[in-house]
Structure formats: structure tokens, C-alpha cells
Structure 1
Amino acid sequence: MSLLPGIVALIVLAAPAHAEDGDVPYWASISADIAYMRVGPSNTYRIDWVYKRRNLPVKVVRREGPWRFVVDPDGTKGWIRDLLLSRERMAIVTGGGLAEMHARGSTGSPLLWRLEPGVIGKLGECESGWCEFNVDGHKGFAPQERLWGSAEP
């Protein structure tokens, strides 16, 4: 009897665990209407924060089974269940005052809208300090330094 099929099966089963370990950090967004952040990676840990803002971007910095250790735009850290997160890339406007959204990635292009800090939108490609940004169908380009969630994780 050959041991080769058993060894191949063990290698195949072990591969996803290594892929998960190398998969952080990455950007995610809250995909539920209500998401609980806990102080540890289990339902038995106390709830530290309740999120009621769908699409809020978070940075996933660690994985433990179905739990993700995340950092939110304010720097709050804790554990959220993976089922409450999406890999869809979102960003939130930060900083003081209004951020300008232009038709193209330059200040010389037509101004489309002014965005208040806290506005969340779908993030597109970023290039030369500008990012494609879609806020409920209002599409344009926003300065990358004003969008939390636009940098490399």
C-alpha cells in the first residue's frame, strides 16, 4: 500500500492554513446593519463596541479561525466575526473641512461635489494622489490623503 495518496491529502489540507496566515493585513468593510466588536475572538468575550454603519471600512490585521482582529478609522481595535465583513473596498472621508470631488484626478478638473468628513463611498483605483470614489452613484475623484482605507494595508 502506498503512502503517497495520504501524504498528498495532508499537503492539500494544510495549504489553506498557510494561505490564511499570509493573507493579512487587508482592507474590508462592515457588511451588516449591526456588527459587534469584541475584546477577544469568541462570542464568549464581552462586546466592546457596536457598529451600526454598513460599509464602514476597517483594516484586518489578524485572523483567528472565523474571527478578524480589525482597526477602525478612529483607531479602535477589536475582534469581529468574518461573516459581518466584506472584502469590498470602501473608504471614509477624513480630516477637517470639506473634501473636493472632481471629474478627474486633478484640482484643475471640474469640481463635482464637496464631501463632508465621515462620508463613506466605494473606492476604485488610486493613482497620483487621487482615487476613484463612488458615493451612492455620485462618481468622481477624491484626494487620496482625505480617504481612510485608500492606502496599502
Structure 2
Amino acid sequence: MFRIFRGFSLSLLVLAGAGAATAAENRGAVTNLPLPRFVSMKASEGNVRRGPSLTHRIDWVYKRRGMPLEVTAEHGHWRRVRDRDGAGGWVHYSLLSGVRTVLVEEDMLKLHQRADLNSPVTAMLELGVVADLGECTVSACELSAGGFEGWAPKTALWGVDADEVRE
């Protein structure tokens, strides 16, 4: 039986095993990239397995291209990922992309013209929208989705760290 993930659940993300180590201290054994780190689904469908091989059972299937995921471990060509609900498993690296996206966690999220969240609103995004991630300041990120662009507060997004700044 497959669990079809659509990305619209409102449950809280539980970070299992969060310790004192920071992402800068943890590096993937295969890629030497930081762990954990955010990526997105390159494929429109991807099997999530119990372990890092084709012989492991498929627990469910991600069904949304561009879905942001957090890589928490690496083993050969496999990446252990988790979604915004904390559910996860092992995915083949070819199904993932380094292109950054975020999941909107606030209904009717206002996109502003500038990083100043008091600037005029250019558009509004519904809960569950997957948006491309651009620049980020300490408190806001530039997003684009459905032909609309603007800035939104980080607190309304999943797929970007609270202290992450992007240029």
C-alpha cells in the first residue's frame, strides 16, 4: 500500500534527534554538503523507501514536483529526506534537485514589493503553494509562484532555515 503525499497537511514538524551540533559542523559523507540541508523534488513522482537500496520496501510515493524536502543523511546514491510533517525515508539522489523551493504555511500569504514587509502587496498565495526561493534577508525571502513575485516573512515558509541569508 502506498501513501500519497500531497503536501497540504497542517501538522507540526517534529525535529527528531536535534542536538547541539549545527549544520556547519555536519557534512554528508558522500557529497561533503551540509546536513541537514534543503532540496526539492526534481521528479513529479518519487518512491520513498525504508532503507537506501532498491531492495527496501516502498513506504509511500511523493507526488509533487518541486516539493521542498530536508536531507538528513547520505548513503551512496541515496538521501534520507523528511518533509514538513516530519515524515521521511530514503530517496534516490537522481529524484532530487538543488533548486530551492518553499512550502507556504499561511493561508493568503501576502507577497510584498520589497523585503520591507510594510511595502505594497503584489499578490497573495494560498496555503500549500510551492514557491521558488530567491534571496533571503534575516526576516524575509523573495518568492516566485504562478507568475507572481514578492517578499514574504520567513516565519510563514517551510524549506528555509530561520537564520539563513541568501543573496
TM range (shorter): 0.7 to 0.9
Q: Which amino acid aligns with 1:31?
A: K
Instruction: Output the CA distance in 1 between the equivalents of 2:29 and 2:121.
Output: 46
- Aligned counterpart for 1:36 among listed residues 40, 47, 57: 47
Instruction: Output the CA distance in 2 between the equivalents of 1:42 and 1:140.
Output: 40
Equivalence map 1:52-91=2 (5 Å): 52-91=63-102
Query: Higher helix share goes to which structure?
Result: 1
Q: Which residue of 2 is the match for residue 10 of structure 1?
A: none
Structure 1 runs of 4+ with >6 Å offset: none
Instruction: Output the CA distance in 2 between the equivalents of 1:125 and 1:82.
Output: 25
TM-score, normalised to structure 1, is: 0.82
1:90 Cα deviation (Å)?
0.6
Unmatched 5+ residue regions in structure 2?
1-27
Is the CA contact 2:143–2:152 (under 8 Å) kept in the aligned structure 1?
yes
Q: Which amino acid aligns with 1:93?
A: V
- Aligned counterpart for 1:114 among listed residues 120, 124, 130: 124
TM-score, normalised to structure 2, is: 0.75
| Aligned: 1:124 with 2:134 | yes
Instruction: Output the CA distance in 1 between the equivalents of 2:63 and 2:29.
Output: 33
Is the CA contact 1:21–1:63 (under 8 Å) kept in the aligned structure 2?
no
Unmatched 5+ residue regions in structure 1?
1-16
Change in 2 beyond 3 A, CA 1:90/1:22? closer
Q: Which residue of 2 is the match for residue 143 of structure 1?
A: 153
Instruction: Output the CA distance in 1 between the equivalents of 2:127 and 2:31.
Output: 34
Aligned pairs, number: 136
Root-mean-square deviation (Å): 1.8
